[in-house]
């Protein structure tokens, strides 16, 4: 057995397997890249959406929340929050933080301006229309 299956053969399976599957992955990624703009309505990424996204990133929102299930599991899902709560609730909620309720998980106040809140909501609205293969299972996220 040891003579039949040598270290060189094992190495070649490793190198060959790696190159083969990497090539397949790159082809699939190229295809995915072409399809994403249609699935997430990239044409609807207005300047307001991009500004809102930048605010979300630079305030580390995914340090507590998830977007399409990715982030931290301390606070609710944001991918569908626009559909769950609506724009006015979201703005009022962000402005009223922190709740200060003893023992309850706290969200900081980020001192956003009215325009920034509009940008955030624009981004959250754009997020809520991505085709995520029907995830999450229900509106609660």
Partner 1 sequence: MKYPSQQVAKPYFIAALALFVGQIVFGLIAGLQYLHGTFLFPELPFDVAHMSHTNLLIVWLLMAFMGAAYFIVPEEAQTELYSPRLALVTFWVFLIAAALTIVAYLFVPYAQLAAITGNAALPTMGRGYLEQPLPTKIGIVLVALSLLFNVTMTLIKGRKTSINLILVGSLWGLALLFLPAFYFPHDTVKASFGWWWIVHGWVEGDWELILGALLGFILIKMTGVDREIVEKWLYIIVAMTLISGIIGIGHHYYYTGAPSYWIWLGSIFSALEPIPFILLIVFSFKMLMQRRREHPNKAAMLWALGTPVMAFLGAGLWGFMITLAPAQYYIHGTNFTAAHGHLAFFGAYAMVSLAIISYAMPLLRGRTANSAAAQRWEMAGFWIMVFSMIGITLALTGAGIVTVFLQRAADDPMGFMQAQDKARVFFWVREFAGVAFFIGLLVYLRSFFIAGEYEYADEMKQALAA
Give the footprint of partner 1 on residues 31-60 (CB under 8 A).
31-33, 35-37, 39-40, 42, 45, 50, 53-54, 56-60
Which among 128, 86, 92, 121 has a CA at the least distance from the CA of 107? Answer: 92
Q: How many whole angstroms separate alpha carbon 115 and alpha carbon 122?
A: 11
CB atoms within 10 A of CB 65: 21
Q: Which residue has the tokens 């039949």?
A: 4
Binding to partner 1, residues 117-136 (CB under 8 A): 127, 130-133, 135-136
Structure tokens at 79: 């991918």
Asked if 72 interacts with partner 1 (CB under 8 A), we say: yes
Q: Does 92 bind partner 1 (CB under 8 A)?
A: no
**Among residues 103 and 114, whose Cβ is nearest to partner 1?**
103
Among 95, 96, 106, 115, binds partner 1 (CB under 8 A): 106
């Amino acid at each position: 057995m040891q003579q039949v299956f040598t270290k060189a053969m094992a190495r070649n399976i490793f190198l060959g397997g790696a190159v083969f599957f990497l090539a397949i992955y790159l082809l699939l990624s190229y295809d995915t890249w072409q399809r994403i703009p249609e699935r997430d309505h990239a044409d609807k990424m207005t300047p307001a959406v991009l500004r809102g996204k930048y605010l979300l990133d630079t305030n580390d929102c995914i340090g507590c929340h998830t977007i399409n299930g990715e982030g931290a599991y301390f606070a609710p899902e944001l991918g569908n929050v626009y559909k769950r709560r609506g724009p006015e609730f979201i703005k009022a909620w962000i402005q009223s933080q922190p709740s200060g309720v003893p023992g309850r998980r706290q969200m900081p106040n980020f001192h956003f301006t009215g325009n920034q809140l509009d940008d955030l909501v624009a981004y959250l609205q754009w997020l809520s229309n991505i085709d995520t293969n029907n995830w999450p299972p229900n509106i609660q996220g």
